[in-house]
């Protein structure tokens, strides 16, 4: 009996340790968010109070009014949204077409081309940056959203890979039946394959949106005029423009940062399962 009770005591200690570890992990993940939101609601004097005052008093909603009206941050967010939505459209069109070709239309070149495409996933983005910049400069696309959006119409390796794997899992009989009913390749793609692939297409749309929304390097080198800034670029410029009065701007900076992550969090909340699927897919199925 003694051994049994010591065993159950060990198990209880183990459980307590597990919960303690999980809770401290959760603290580490959550405190920064709380800190960001409370800072965004404080008056400057309270921002620099020490010890830290966690509850904003008074709650300064004006910080958000300043960010959205005195500083056109909403406009920058709309710019980001426009770029991100167009990128989603481009990615869906190009990646689904290319992926279907790799999944079903076989030629001698399919395999080598597929390997070349996959290898671009390993290519660091910064390596292609200068050629891309020079290309767009010669096209006269610098400081235009086209330079950010048009590349998505030429496909992205990871999304193509993901969609191809999904298309391969669609039973061929369904496609054959459609062909018997007189559908051509295009008809099969449009009427059979795409409707069956809604979840995979949704995942691609979400990834493409998030990548474009969070993108900083692209807007930094390709955009220049003030009115075209994306939210990420505007945030960084606001941040670097500090200097002597930096102390008095932290509440605004955090308000803008909070606004920037709201769309991300909403999408994450609505579409959690796609994130998890896509991530798992990236890591495991290969």
Partner 1 sequence: MIGDKVWVGAENYQTMVADPLFWQSLKVTGVYSMLAVPLGVLFALGLAVLLNQKIRGVNLYRTIFYIPSVISGVAAAMLWAWIFSPEFGVMNAALDLVGIEGPKWLYDPELVVPALVMMSLWSVGGSMIIYLAALQGVPSELYEAATVDGAGWWRRFWHVTLPQISPVLFFTLVTGMINSFQTFTQAYVMTNGGPKNASLFFGLYLYNNAFRYMKMGYASALAWTLLLIVLALTLLTFVTARFWVHQETDSGGWV
Site for partner 1 in 126-155 (CB under 8 A): 126-127, 129-130, 133-134
For the CB of residue 123, give the shortest distance to partner 1 in the complex, in Å: 7
Of 201, 252, 238, nearest in space to 40 by CA: 252
Among residues 6, 8, 248, 272, the one that binds partner 1 under rule CB under 8 A: 272
Binder among 3, 28, 108, 173 for partner 1 (CB under 8 A): 28
Count of residues engaged in binding partner 1, rule: CB under 8 A: 66
The minimum distance between CB 161 and partner 1, in angstroms, equals 10
Q: Closest separation between CB of residue 35 and partner 1, Å?
A: 5
Contact letters (x/-) for partner 1, 43-62, by CB under 8 A? ----xx-xxx----------
Residues 71, 114, 141, 153: which binds partner 1 (CB under 8 A)?
114
- Is 21 a binding residue for partner 1 by CB under 8 A? The answer is yes
**For partner 1, which is the closer residue by CB, 18 or 169?**
18
Q: Considering only 71-79, 89-97, 116-124, 182-190, which stretch makes contact with partner 1 by CB under 8 A?
A: 116-124
Exposed/middle/buried for residue 114 (C-beta within 10 Å: 0-12, 13-18, 19+)? middle
> Which residues of this chain interact with partner 1, rule CB under 8 A?
15, 18-19, 21-22, 25-26, 28-33, 35-36, 39, 47-48, 50-52, 111, 114-115, 118, 122-127, 129-130, 133-134, 210, 214-217, 220-221, 232-233, 235-236, 239-240, 250, 253-254, 257, 260-261, 264-265, 268, 272, 275-276, 279-280, 282-284, 286
């Amino acid at each position: 009996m003694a051994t049994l009770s010591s065993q159950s005591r060990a198990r209880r200690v183990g459980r307590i340790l597990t919960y303690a570890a999980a809770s401290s992990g959760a603290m580490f993940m959550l405190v920064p968010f709380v800190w960001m939101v409370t800072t965004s609601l404080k008056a400057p004097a309270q921002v620099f109070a020490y010890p830290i005052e966690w509850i904003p008093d008074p709650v300064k909603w004006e910080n958000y009014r300043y960010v959205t009206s005195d500083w056109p941050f909403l406009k920058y967010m709309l710019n980001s949204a426009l770029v991100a939505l167009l990128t989603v459209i481009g990615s869906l069109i190009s990646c689904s077409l290319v992926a279907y070709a790799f999944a079903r239309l076989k030629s001698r070149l399919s395999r080598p081309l597929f390997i070349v495409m996959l290898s671009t996933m390993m290519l660091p983005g910064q390596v292609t940056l200068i050629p891309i910049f020079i290309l767009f400069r010669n096209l006269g696309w610098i400081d235009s959203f086209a330079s950010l959006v048009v590349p998505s119409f030429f496909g992205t390796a990871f999304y193509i890979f993901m969609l191809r794997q999904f298309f391969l899992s669609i039973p061929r009989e369904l496609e054959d039946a459609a062909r018997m009913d007189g559908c051509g390749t295009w008809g099969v793609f449009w009427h059979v394959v795409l409707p069956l692939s809604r979840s995979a297409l949704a995942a691609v749309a979400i990834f493409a949106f998030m990548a474009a929304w969070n993108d900083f390097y692209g807007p930094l080198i390709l955009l220049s005029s003030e009115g075209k800034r994306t939210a990420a670029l505007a945030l960084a410029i606001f941040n670097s423009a500090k200097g002597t009065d930096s102390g008095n701007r932290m509440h605004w900076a955090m308000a803008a940062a909070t606004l920037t992550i709201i769309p991300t969090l909403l999408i994450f909340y609505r579409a959690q399962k796609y994130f998890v699927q896509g991530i798992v897919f990236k890591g495991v199925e290969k």
